[in-house]
A and B are shown apart, each in its own frame.
Chain A
Amino acid sequence: DVKVTQSSRYLVKRTGEKVFLECVQDMDHENMFWYRQDPGLGLRLIYFSYDVKMKEKGDIPEGYSVSREKKERFSLILESASTNQTSMYLCASSPHSGDGFGNEQFFGPGTRLTVL
Protein backbone atom coordinates (compact mmCIF):
# COMPACT_ATOMS: atom_id res chain seq x y z
CA ASP A 1 0.00 0.00 0.00
CA VAL A 2 1.16 3.49 -0.82
CA LYS A 3 1.71 5.50 2.26
CA VAL A 4 2.02 9.24 2.44
CA THR A 5 2.74 10.55 5.90
CA GLN A 6 2.75 14.08 7.21
CA SER A 7 4.79 15.12 10.23
CA SER A 8 1.94 16.56 12.28
CA ARG A 9 -1.84 16.22 12.35
CA TYR A 10 -2.34 19.46 14.26
CA LEU A 11 -0.05 22.44 14.60
CA VAL A 12 -0.50 25.79 16.33
CA LYS A 13 1.93 28.60 15.54
CA ARG A 14 2.16 32.31 16.14
CA THR A 15 2.16 35.06 13.53
CA GLY A 16 5.65 35.61 12.17
CA GLU A 17 6.98 32.16 13.06
CA LYS A 18 8.73 30.02 10.46
CA VAL A 19 6.80 26.81 9.93
CA PHE A 20 7.94 23.56 8.36
CA LEU A 21 5.48 20.94 7.17
CA GLU A 22 7.07 17.64 6.22
CA CYS A 23 5.74 14.97 3.90
CA VAL A 24 7.21 11.55 3.20
CA GLN A 25 6.07 8.92 0.68
CA ASP A 26 7.29 5.35 0.52
CA MET A 27 6.44 4.35 -3.07
CA ASP A 28 9.31 5.93 -4.96
CA HIS A 29 6.97 8.39 -6.68
CA GLU A 30 8.51 11.09 -8.81
CA ASN A 31 5.79 13.71 -8.29
CA MET A 32 4.85 15.33 -5.01
CA PHE A 33 2.31 18.07 -4.27
CA TRP A 34 1.25 20.45 -1.54
CA TYR A 35 -2.36 21.68 -1.36
CA ARG A 36 -4.31 23.73 1.08
CA GLN A 37 -7.98 23.03 1.70
CA ASP A 38 -10.41 25.65 2.94
CA PRO A 39 -14.20 25.44 3.38
CA GLY A 40 -15.98 26.38 0.18
CA LEU A 41 -12.75 26.64 -1.82
CA GLY A 42 -11.83 23.01 -2.31
CA LEU A 43 -8.21 21.93 -2.77
CA ARG A 44 -5.84 24.53 -4.15
CA LEU A 45 -2.35 23.65 -5.34
CA ILE A 46 0.47 25.55 -3.67
CA TYR A 47 3.60 23.92 -5.15
CA PHE A 48 4.57 20.67 -6.77
CA SER A 49 7.77 18.86 -7.61
CA TYR A 50 8.39 16.35 -10.40
CA ASP A 51 11.91 15.41 -9.40
CA VAL A 52 14.49 15.89 -6.70
CA LYS A 53 15.51 19.55 -6.37
CA MET A 54 12.84 20.56 -8.90
CA LYS A 55 9.82 22.65 -7.97
CA GLU A 56 7.00 24.38 -9.77
CA LYS A 57 4.54 26.98 -8.55
CA GLY A 58 0.93 25.98 -8.29
CA ASP A 59 -2.07 28.28 -8.16
CA ILE A 60 -1.36 29.96 -4.81
CA PRO A 61 2.41 29.95 -4.08
CA GLU A 62 2.58 33.36 -2.40
CA GLY A 63 3.83 33.15 1.17
CA TYR A 64 5.15 29.61 0.73
CA SER A 65 8.30 27.88 -0.39
CA VAL A 66 9.22 24.21 -0.77
CA SER A 67 12.21 21.94 -0.62
CA ARG A 68 12.82 18.55 -2.25
CA GLU A 69 16.28 17.32 -1.33
CA LYS A 70 15.36 13.63 -1.41
CA LYS A 71 12.92 11.81 -3.62
CA GLU A 72 10.73 10.61 -0.77
CA ARG A 73 10.48 13.91 1.10
CA PHE A 74 8.77 17.18 0.19
CA SER A 75 8.72 20.05 2.66
CA LEU A 76 6.44 23.08 2.71
CA ILE A 77 7.83 26.18 4.40
CA LEU A 78 5.97 29.21 5.64
CA GLU A 79 8.73 31.78 6.05
CA SER A 80 6.64 34.07 8.24
CA ALA A 81 3.28 32.59 9.16
CA SER A 82 0.20 34.77 8.94
CA THR A 83 -3.33 34.24 10.19
CA ASN A 84 -4.64 33.83 6.62
CA GLN A 85 -2.48 30.73 6.33
CA THR A 86 -4.62 28.94 8.88
CA SER A 87 -5.83 25.96 6.89
CA MET A 88 -5.71 22.22 6.29
CA TYR A 89 -2.55 21.30 4.37
CA LEU A 90 -2.53 18.15 2.28
CA CYS A 91 0.45 16.46 0.71
CA ALA A 92 0.13 14.04 -2.20
CA SER A 93 2.37 11.96 -4.45
CA SER A 94 2.01 10.25 -7.81
CA PRO A 95 4.21 8.34 -10.25
CA HIS A 96 5.23 9.72 -13.63
CA SER A 97 2.83 8.78 -16.37
CA GLY A 98 4.26 6.69 -19.16
CA ASP A 99 1.61 7.52 -21.74
CA GLY A 100 0.81 11.16 -21.05
CA PHE A 101 -2.45 10.56 -19.25
CA GLY A 102 -2.80 11.64 -15.67
CA ASN A 103 -2.29 9.46 -12.66
CA GLU A 104 -3.96 9.04 -9.33
CA GLN A 105 -2.49 11.15 -6.57
CA PHE A 106 -2.16 9.52 -3.16
CA PHE A 107 -2.87 11.82 -0.26
CA GLY A 108 -1.58 12.05 3.26
CA PRO A 109 -3.91 12.57 6.25
CA GLY A 110 -3.40 16.34 6.33
CA THR A 111 -2.02 18.84 8.82
CA ARG A 112 -4.41 21.32 10.34
CA LEU A 113 -2.41 24.46 10.93
CA THR A 114 -3.69 27.28 13.10
CA VAL A 115 -1.80 30.57 13.10
CA LEU A 116 -2.63 32.82 16.05
Chain B
Amino acid sequence: GESVGLHLPTLSVQEGDNSIINCAYSNSASDYFIWYKQESGKGPQFIIDIRSNMDKRQGQRVTVLLNKTVKHLSLQIAATQPGDSAVYFCAEMPLMNSGYSTLTFGKGTMLLVSP
Protein backbone atom coordinates (compact mmCIF):
# COMPACT_ATOMS: atom_id res chain seq x y z
CA GLY B 1 0.00 0.00 0.00
CA GLU B 2 1.00 3.64 -0.17
CA SER B 3 3.41 4.89 2.40
CA VAL B 4 3.06 8.18 4.21
CA GLY B 5 6.75 8.56 3.45
CA LEU B 6 6.25 9.26 -0.25
CA HIS B 7 7.32 12.74 -1.38
CA LEU B 8 8.91 13.52 1.98
CA PRO B 9 12.33 15.02 2.62
CA THR B 10 14.59 12.23 3.79
CA LEU B 11 17.50 12.16 6.21
CA SER B 12 19.78 9.15 5.92
CA VAL B 13 22.20 8.41 8.74
CA GLN B 14 24.41 5.60 9.95
CA GLU B 15 23.64 3.74 13.15
CA GLY B 16 25.33 5.48 16.05
CA ASP B 17 25.37 8.91 14.44
CA ASN B 18 23.45 11.83 15.89
CA SER B 19 20.46 12.97 13.84
CA ILE B 20 19.01 16.45 13.55
CA ILE B 21 15.57 16.94 12.06
CA ASN B 22 14.49 20.51 11.38
CA CYS B 23 11.11 22.17 11.22
CA ALA B 24 10.19 25.72 10.24
CA TYR B 25 6.83 26.83 11.56
CA SER B 26 4.74 29.67 10.29
CA ASN B 27 2.55 30.99 13.10
CA SER B 28 4.34 33.52 15.29
CA ALA B 29 1.51 33.11 17.83
CA SER B 30 2.34 29.44 18.40
CA ASP B 31 3.24 28.67 21.98
CA TYR B 32 3.32 24.91 22.17
CA PHE B 33 5.31 22.56 19.97
CA ILE B 34 5.46 18.81 19.76
CA TRP B 35 7.35 16.13 17.89
CA TYR B 36 5.75 12.87 16.81
CA LYS B 37 7.26 9.70 15.37
CA GLN B 38 5.25 7.57 12.97
CA GLU B 39 6.37 4.09 12.03
CA SER B 40 4.98 2.37 8.99
CA GLY B 41 1.42 1.16 9.55
CA LYS B 42 1.05 2.86 12.93
CA GLY B 43 -0.41 6.06 14.31
CA PRO B 44 1.88 8.92 15.39
CA GLN B 45 3.56 8.50 18.77
CA PHE B 46 4.56 11.34 21.07
CA ILE B 47 8.30 11.95 21.40
CA ILE B 48 8.75 15.26 23.18
CA ASP B 49 7.11 18.65 23.54
CA ILE B 50 8.21 22.15 24.47
CA ARG B 51 6.50 25.36 25.50
CA SER B 52 7.42 28.79 24.23
CA ASN B 53 8.88 29.85 27.58
CA MET B 54 11.72 27.36 27.02
CA ASP B 55 14.35 27.10 24.31
CA LYS B 56 15.54 23.57 25.02
CA ARG B 57 14.11 20.42 26.51
CA GLN B 58 15.71 17.02 26.85
CA GLY B 59 14.28 13.56 26.98
CA GLN B 60 15.79 10.14 26.70
CA ARG B 61 18.21 10.37 23.74
CA VAL B 62 16.19 13.25 22.29
CA THR B 63 16.50 17.01 22.59
CA VAL B 64 14.16 19.63 21.19
CA LEU B 65 15.44 23.13 20.48
CA LEU B 66 13.15 26.10 19.89
CA ASN B 67 14.21 29.37 18.29
CA LYS B 68 11.21 31.68 18.27
CA THR B 69 13.13 34.51 16.67
CA VAL B 70 13.44 32.60 13.41
CA LYS B 71 10.46 30.29 14.01
CA HIS B 72 12.55 27.16 13.95
CA LEU B 73 12.24 23.89 15.82
CA SER B 74 14.65 20.99 15.75
CA LEU B 75 14.75 17.45 17.08
CA GLN B 76 18.09 15.93 17.91
CA ILE B 77 18.38 12.17 18.34
CA ALA B 78 21.57 10.92 19.94
CA ALA B 79 23.18 7.62 18.93
CA THR B 80 20.56 6.90 16.30
CA GLN B 81 19.41 3.30 16.09
CA PRO B 82 17.69 1.34 13.29
CA GLY B 83 14.50 1.41 15.39
CA ASP B 84 14.48 5.18 15.02
CA SER B 85 13.71 4.83 11.31
CA ALA B 86 10.32 6.48 10.86
CA VAL B 87 8.60 9.64 9.70
CA TYR B 88 8.93 12.52 12.15
CA PHE B 89 6.36 15.31 12.36
CA CYS B 90 6.53 18.61 14.15
CA ALA B 91 3.31 20.33 15.21
CA GLU B 92 2.49 23.74 16.65
CA MET B 93 -0.39 25.24 18.60
CA PRO B 94 -1.13 28.81 19.74
CA LEU B 95 -1.86 29.61 23.36
CA MET B 96 -5.52 29.00 24.17
CA ASN B 97 -6.50 32.39 25.57
CA SER B 98 -10.09 31.74 24.64
CA GLY B 99 -11.91 29.08 22.76
CA TYR B 100 -9.99 26.10 21.51
CA SER B 101 -6.82 25.76 19.56
CA THR B 102 -5.68 22.87 17.46
CA LEU B 103 -2.36 21.41 16.41
CA THR B 104 -1.06 22.25 12.95
CA PHE B 105 1.24 19.55 11.63
CA GLY B 106 4.23 19.85 9.36
CA LYS B 107 4.56 17.60 6.31
CA GLY B 108 7.10 15.32 8.00
CA THR B 109 10.67 14.13 7.48
CA MET B 110 11.61 10.53 6.88
CA LEU B 111 14.59 9.29 8.88
CA LEU B 112 16.41 6.26 7.49
CA VAL B 113 18.99 4.61 9.71
CA SER B 114 21.32 2.09 8.17
CA PRO B 115 23.27 -0.43 10.25
Residues of A within 8 A of B (CB): 4, 31, 33, 37, 39-45, 48, 50, 56, 58, 88, 90, 92, 97, 100-110, 112
B7's partner among A39, A58, A100 (CB-CB below 8 A) is A39
Could you say which residues of chain A place their CB within 8 Å of the CB of B97?
Answer: 100
Of the four ranges (under 10, 10 to 19, 20 to 34, 35 or more), the interface on chain B belongs to 20 to 34
B43 and A42 form a contact (CB under 8 A)? no
B42 and A110 form a contact (CB under 8 A)? yes
Main secondary structure, interface of B, reads: loop
6 contacts between A and B (CB under 8 A): A4-B43, A48-B100, A56-B100, A58-B102, A88-B4, A101-B96
Could you say which residues of chain A place their CB within 8 Å of the CB of B49?
Answer: 102, 104
Given contacts A56-B100, A97-B96, A100-B97, contact A43 B89 (CB under 8 A): yes
A107 to B43, CA, bound (A): 6
B102 and A104 form a contact (CB under 8 A)? no
A42 to B6, CA, bound (A): 10
A81 to B8, CA, bound (A): 28
B102's partner among A39, A48, A106 (CB-CB below 8 A) is A48
Could you say which residues of chain B place their CB within 8 Å of the CB of A112?
Answer: 1
Could you say which residues of chain B place their CB within 8 Å of the CB of A107?
Answer: 36, 43-45
Q: Give the residues from 30 to 78 in chain B that come closer than 8 angstroms, CB to CB, to chain A.
A: 31-32, 34, 36, 41-46, 49, 51
Could you say which residues of chain A place their CB within 8 Å of the CB of B14?
Answer: none
A54 to B48, CA, bound (A): 29
A112 to B32, CA, bound (A): 29
B96 and A102 form a contact (CB under 8 A)? yes
A40 and B6 form a contact (CB under 8 A)? yes
Could you say which residues of chain B place their CB within 8 Å of the CB of A45?
Answer: 102-103
B95 and A100 form a contact (CB under 8 A)? yes
B105 within 8 A of A: yes
Could you say which residues of chain B place their CB within 8 Å of the CB of A105?
Answer: 103
B4's partner among A37, A50, A97, A108 (CB-CB below 8 A) is A37
